[in-house]
Structure 1
Amino acid sequence: MFVPRGTLPRIMFEKEYDVIVVGAGHAGSEAAAAAANMGSSTLLITMNLQNIGQMSCNPAMGGIAKGQIVREIDALGGYSGIISDKTAIQFKMLNKSKGPAMWSPRVQSDRMRFSEEWRLMLEQTKNLYFYQEMVAGIMVEGDRIVGVKTSLGLEIKGKTVVLTNGTFLNGLIHIGEKQFGGGRAGEKAATGITKDLVDLGFDSGRMKTGTPPRVDGRSLDFSKMVVQPGDEHPEKFSYSDSTKPLTQQRDCHMSYTSPLVHEMLKEGFDRSPMFNGAIQSIGPRYCPSIEDKINRFADKDRHQLFVEPEGWNTVEYYINGFSTSLPEEVQFKALKQVEGFENVKFFRPGYAIEYDYFPPTQLKHTLETKLVSGLFFAGQINGTTGYEEAASQGLMAGINAHLKVKEQDPFILQRNEAYIGVLIDDLITKGTEEPYRMFTSRAEYRTLLRQDNADFRLTPRSHAIGLASDERLKKMEEKKESAQKFVNFFKETSVQPEEINPILESNNSASVKQSDKMFKVFSRPEIGMDDMRKLSAVEEFIQVNNIDHEVLTQAEIQVKYAGYIEKEKNNADKLNRLEGIKIPVNFDYSRLKSLSFEAKEKLSAIQPATVSQASRISGVSPNDISVLLVYMGR
């Protein structure tokens, strides 16, 4: 049968997809899952279907602030938390010695199983289709996206497009003085998209990231290293019942560099792309290469190295803390001087990679571009670094692409609602000139944005847009009700001096002379839940009401940090009043004569949606905000 030229793409693909997602890393996978689960016909295009959800760098999810983001993704109905639980080989709750706002879950992952589980879950997602090829450009009509072009010349139509290209846009890999194109070790770079975007008027830039060598665990002497076990009672990321906490775990280990290691590494500095000018772009400040650490912290004679297994059964290990782009023989020679690495065998050397990104001030809060309607950016294309940051952006872009197609209101998280809201607001309001990484210190409402209450904060919002299931919402409501009931018990129940004083005295806390409410006693910093459980009435309440670990933790935090939580809620309410004052689209700031010149320039470039967002722009003063408020009738 004769098929006329140009009809093949229409046979291979749907006439027009609701959402096309380009790239299947953490951002692309979450974007595709969200859009498809909400009911959009979604096409996920990637250069290699075998590498869906690939962990390009360290085999771990979560960590400081990042663990909160994974919990938020899970509460919103994303997949990252479930997949992290299913493929975890070790769990740790970091910062337990600090307040609960700082507690951050982290898992060591099985790299191969992580990618496999992502693919299996996506393949079981309704409305989601796959295609393996490089996207070489985008198709735009007027100011609206209409599809993508592939390297084979196919044109695929889409109502919206989400670009999640990671480090692949014109990626360039550096090892010493050697350079070669690539988006990741063993994979080619993606070309064409940057040119199309720049031709449309987008600003672009270059960023850098790096990765350490991978080594053969059979060649290491772990007896010379410090053992880093997981938690004795491991928890999990997902709030759903589809995963269970680990019952067995793999140890990680820790070793250190030394002055001798540093001297050997310095021998290659003249051939380091970091120092000889081959790399011009900026790398992540908070995850520097080993050569950068030696150079910046010359007073330190050693640095920690975390020796992390890549999975349950593999012998491959990741050397966290030894990210480098030095010549491979310099890497090898220096690493052999580290205790436990005397006989090390390399699987592959470390390398640095440069890639294109697009300053995120060119985006709306939905992650849709301001220049092209229906075009969304998520992940490292926006200047971020980290799986968790990428995945959260992908989720939000996928949600908003679907809502755009259905002509529904956008889904935006505020800074007091989620770390995801802080992340996106920081990006589009302040921009970034170096790879952006999330920290708890970036969130002014971190007491509200804890890892333990992400489901309380976000599951109702996700359920309202049809992403979180009825089952998820019901489970959250039962947990919330149980926690509140327990807190009320402490508020309403008194304890006698003869019952509580022995417990207080054993914790060096002042005794009481008369009966008092348990809530007041429990609020003391020296007293914990284990202490309160020594009271028969408390233990009886726990047993009768079948209160689990999550509810115990939640109730304790609500009692002990009630004052801090209330204060932050009040501050958040003040912020929300400014969030409610909208600024008209394409507002002409030159009309406001009292605005400073810098404010006019910054506000015109970023076009904030609200007065609150305007107040967070660098260079916009409180006086400028007052001028805006007067104009807006406030």
Structure 2
Amino acid sequence: MFNNYDVIVVGAGHAGCEAAAAAANMGSKVLLATMNMNTIAQMSCNPAMGGVAKGQIVREIDALGGYSGIVADRSMIQFRMLNKSKGPAMWSPRTQNDRMRFAEEWRILLEQTPNVDFWQEMVTGILVENNRVVGVETGMGLKIKAKSVVLTNGTFLNGLIHIGEKQFGGGRSGERASKGITEQLVSLGFESGRMKTGTPPRIDGRSLDYSKMEEQKGDEQPEKFSFSDQTKPLEHQRSCHITYTNPTVHEILESGFEYSPMFNGRIKGLGPRYCPSIEDKINRFAERDRHQIFVEPEGWNTVEIYVNGFSTSLPEHIQFKALREIKGFENAKMFRPGYAIEYDFFPPTQLKHTLETKLVENLFFAGQINGTTGYEEAACQGLIAGINAHRNINDQEAFILNRSEAYIGVLIDDLINKGTEEPYRMFTSRAEHRILLRQDNADIRLTPLGHSIGLAKDERLKATEAKKEKIDTIMADLREFKVKPNQVNDALVAISSAPLKETTPAYNILKRPEISFKELKEIETELGKYISQYSEDLLEYSQINIKYESYIEKEYQLVEKMQNLENLTINDNINYSEIPALSAEAKEKFKKIKPKTLGQASRISGVSPADISILMVYLGR
């Protein structure tokens, strides 16, 4: 019935879809196994992609040749660039999406990918021979052979849903949990743990009074995620709205705390600190008398509303009563209550940087199985796992992004070296080189890499090279274009900018904080004509490079210094017990993680600079 596959991907969430697409587009014969073909790429939580740091990840996936950016663009109902009031390293694209269209677009793309086959059934175990994975086993007892397996089980591994004092097995509302895989992996020597996440109630939008809320419109000039020409910016957008909880809401919620699985000990797993439930918020921030609630439409043509900021596992009657005290929700009708879900995960220190497990060859983990939270974090892991699953079985060099190349590199390096005791979420603050890892330059950073491994297509590389050439031309021309004081001084003084004392390159004038291309166009006619021939995105990119030139140069120098540590490799057979000066914690961590380089060793949680100095001396000997 089945021919042997190159790669089997278990689970068709965001990680699984990217893994299957990547391996297939690189030439592997792929089987995507899912319990339900109707929930491929389902947005289980909020109907949105991107956001702070997450938007950078989506752009990086797109630049490498993944599909998340294209799918997000084709299904978006609103676009916003967050943090525009801050520096460009913080700018983060975010789309509000049509939940049904998002899943449909993903399925269409996968069905149009020639090397992808589908199988609808629960996978209950993996087939292992001589510490190498050779396939999977399904609930019906089918044994399907493969050279490599990628597990992307999401919240389904022994998933347990909580609503008040009720609890029942499930990987998502209305769907079965996955049994068997955790137990088998533990028997093979893997360490497992429990985590939890939650989701808010869904509301009938027809029952809400939006006049009592603040309207949150999309950007006036919306952009998009994908650098390709396969998608277009929105011409029309749907608004979101903002409202707030109040002391009455808090009192009602507190009245249900005794029934809360979070507070009475029934939930053992650790939840996401940066996306707490509403009961957690009012417990931890008791001094606040209100919390923001984002009212987000689920699509173009549905009345269903996602109540972002009201994640809860309290009894449904408490949820309903509290919701109706929120301004604009006085007559709210509930489609379904919020709930918390506990699930198994595997500490990611058990993985290599390729996301292959250290214990079983050609077995890869991606997504929430590694202790992360978020569609974007899952999708980028799926992409890297799919790429390396293909490259592994074809005896090709591992594809690893480092911390100075991509947020994806930061995420995976954090997971491998530090592990995580709570659901890991990406933030700009986690990236020490974030001025280099902006959302606007993801294509220039990563498309040549994606093309070199056979994932990004030829036309994507040509477009990226053409973009870079134009930017280089703009910057070179601005250095050559000389501006005379008598031509611009009156205009400069009018905008409170210091007058020129001598003829100055336009490049230097643009370095001034108060001067942008907009002002340059207005103060110098010939320069204005030159600037007008280029698109806004090219000008913005050039402007960032010019204004932040000294910072960017310093950052590259720092990266070069750090690279020296990365070049100092560590033998796998080193016996850390023989290095007496190392701290006990460093010995334990080094034995467990087995760092490949001194740079990696330096980033392991609990390892001190003194430990690195000692190790460096030992390696020198």
Note the 1:205-244 alignment, pairs <5 A: 205-244=193-232
TM-score (norm 2): 0.99
Query: Aligned letter for 2:112?
Result: Q
Give the equivalent residue in structure 1 for 2:525. Answer: 536
**What is the CA–CA distance in structure 2 between the aligned matches of 1:60 and 1:602, rounded to whole Å?**
37
Note the 1:406-425 alignment, pairs <5 A: 406-425=394-413
**Structure 1 ranges of 4+ moved more than 4 A:** none
Instruction: Tell me the SS of whatever aligns to 1:347.
Output: strand
Which residue of the other structure, out of 591, 596, 621, is the alignment partner of 2:583?
596
Q: Report the alpha carbon displacement of residue 586 of structure 1 after superposing the two structures with TM.
A: 4.0
Which residue of the other structure, out of 541, 555, 565, is the alignment partner of 1:568?
555
Is 2:296 the partner of 1:308?
yes
Give the equivalent residue in structure 1 for 2:243. Answer: 255
Which residue of the other structure, out of 23, 32, 56, is the alignment partner of 1:44?
32
Note the 1:426-465 alignment, pairs <5 A: 426-465=414-453
Query: Aligned letter for 1:572?
Result: V
1:482-523 deviations in whole A, cap 9, x for unaligned? 011101112221111233323432332222222211111111
Single out whichever of 291-300 and 513-522 deviates more from structure 2.
513-522
Which residue of the other structure, out of 113, 116, 139, is the alignment partner of 1:128?
116
Query: What residue ranges of structure 1 are gaps of 5+ in the alignment?
Result: 1-11
Give the equivalent residue in structure 1 for 2:135. Answer: 147
Instruction: Tell me the SS of whatever aligns to 1:502.
Output: helix
**What is the CA–CA distance in structure 1 between the aligned matches of 2:340 and 2:492, rounded to whole Å?**
56
Is 2:45 the partner of 1:57?
yes
Note the 1:44-193 alignment, pairs <5 A: 44-193=32-181
Q: Report the alpha carbon displacement of residue 596 of structure 1 after superposing the two structures with TM.
A: 2.1
**What is the CA–CA distance in structure 1 between the aligned matches of 2:552 and 2:12, rounded to whole Å?**
38
Check conservation: 1:24, 1:164, Cα contact below 8 A: yes
1:170-220 deviations in whole A, cap 9, x for unaligned? 000000000000000110100000001000000000000000000000000
Check conservation: 1:590, 1:600, Cα contact below 8 A: yes
**What is the CA–CA distance in structure 2 between the aligned matches of 1:505 and 1:384, rounded to whole Å?**
52
Instruction: Tell me the SS of whatever aligns to 1:563.
Output: helix
**What is the CA–CA distance in structure 2 between the aligned matches of 1:586 and 1:499, rounded to whole Å?**
70
Give the equivalent residue in structure 1 for 2:544. Answer: 557
1:245-270 deviations in whole A, cap 9, x for unaligned? 00000000000000011001111000
Instruction: Tell me the SS of whatever aligns to 2:541.
Output: helix
Give the equivalent residue in structure 2 for 1:477. Answer: 465
Is 2:238 the partner of 1:246?
no
**What is the CA–CA distance in structure 2 between the aligned matches of 1:487 and 1:552, rounded to whole Å?**
10
Give the equivalent residue in structure 1 for 2:616. Answer: 629
Query: Aligned letter for 1:13?
Result: F
1:337-377 deviations in whole A, cap 9, x for unaligned? 00110000001000000000000000000000000000000
Give the equivalent residue in structure 1 for 2:514. Answer: 526
Check conservation: 1:586, 1:607, Cα contact below 8 A: no
Check conservation: 1:22, 1:163, Cα contact below 8 A: yes
1:567-618 deviations in whole A, cap 9, x for unaligned? 1111111111111111122432122233222211111111111110000112
Instruction: Tell me the SS of whatever aligns to 1:129.
Output: strand
Instruction: Tell me the SS of whatever aligns to 1:632.
Output: helix
Which residue of the other structure, out of 336, 343, 352, is the alignment partner of 2:331?
343
Give the equivalent residue in structure 2 for 1:3. Answer: none
Instruction: Tell me the SS of whatever aligns to 2:620.
Output: coil
**What is the CA–CA distance in structure 2 between the aligned matches of 1:605 and 1:182, rounded to whole Å?**
33
Query: Aligned letter for 2:437?
Result: L
**What is the CA–CA distance in structure 1 between the aligned matches of 2:97 and 2:487, rounded to whole Å?**
46
Instruction: Tell me the SS of whatever aligns to 2:198.
Output: strand
Instruction: Tell me the SS of whatever aligns to 2:528.
Output: helix
Instruction: Tell me the SS of whatever aligns to 2:44.
Output: coil
Instruction: Tell me the SS of whatever aligns to 1:477.
Output: helix
Check conservation: 1:336, 1:343, Cα contact below 8 A: yes
**What is the CA–CA distance in structure 1 between the aligned matches of 2:494 and 2:167, rounded to whole Å?**
64
Q: Report the alpha carbon displacement of residue 550 of structure 1 after superposing the two structures with TM.
A: 1.7
Which residue of the other structure, out of 243, 261, 279, is the alignment partner of 2:267?
279
Q: Report the alpha carbon displacement of residue 632 of structure 1 after superposing the two structures with TM.
A: 2.7
Check conservation: 1:48, 1:133, Cα contact below 8 A: yes
Q: Report the alpha carbon displacement of residue 538 of structure 1 after superposing the two structures with TM.
A: 2.5
Give the equivalent residue in structure 1 for 2:572. Answer: 585
Check conservation: 1:504, 1:527, Cα contact below 8 A: no
Check conservation: 2:66, 2:383, Cα contact below 8 A: yes
Q: Report the alpha carbon displacement of residue 536 of structure 1 after superposing the two structures with TM.
A: 2.0
Check conservation: 2:517, 2:531, Cα contact below 8 A: no
**What is the CA–CA distance in structure 2 between the aligned matches of 1:148 and 1:345, rounded to whole Å?**
44
Q: Report the alpha carbon displacement of residue 116 of structure 1 after superposing the two structures with TM.
A: 0.4
Check conservation: 2:40, 2:103, Cα contact below 8 A: yes
Check conservation: 1:211, 1:351, Cα contact below 8 A: yes
Check conservation: 1:503, 1:531, Cα contact below 8 A: no
**What is the CA–CA distance in structure 2 between the aligned matches of 1:406 and 1:547, rounded to whole Å?**
43
Query: Aligned letter for 1:440?
Result: T
Instruction: Tell me the SS of whatever aligns to 1:520.
Output: helix
Q: Percent identity?
A: 68
What's the RMSD between the two structures over aligned residues? 1.0
Give the equivalent residue in structure 1 for 2:305. Answer: 317
